[in-house]
Amino acid sequence: MNIKGHEAEKLKDPTGIIDGDRYEFFLDLEIDEEDELYSDQGVYIKLILAVDGNGHRIAQYQFYEENTNKALDFEMEEDEEKAVLSYCGEHFKKVL
């Protein structure tokens, strides 16, 4: 699984209930054809990155099929989660 690109935006919390900031990421993925996650339609991840005084973490995520926006029932493997967290950690600071 390789991240080809992303779209991201900072989410607004008008209530102020949630500590820190939240960012919504859409990560375009390149999946090897041999991977069970592979789809001819393409695959992306929608995730919420939580950022506070303790650092950043993935609050939630979901895989989707690109052309149909159908949710896929897969979980990230540990190395994939680390790669995604690292990628989002590098890019959330650039979100206006």
What share of the chain has pLDDT > 90, as a percent?
78
CA gap 20, 3 in Å, rounded:
26
8 Å CB contact between 41 and 24: no
Q: 18-60 pLDDT, tens per residue?
A: 788 999 999 999 999 999 999 999 999 999 999 998 999 999 9
CA gap 24, 92 in Å, rounded:
9
Q: Give the pLDDT mean for 70-78.
A: 95
Which residues fall within 8 angstroms of residue 36, CB to CB, at 6 or more apart?
74
Look at the chain and report how many structural domains it folds into: 1
Expressed as residue numbers, the domain containing 53 is: 2-94
Global pTM reads 0.89
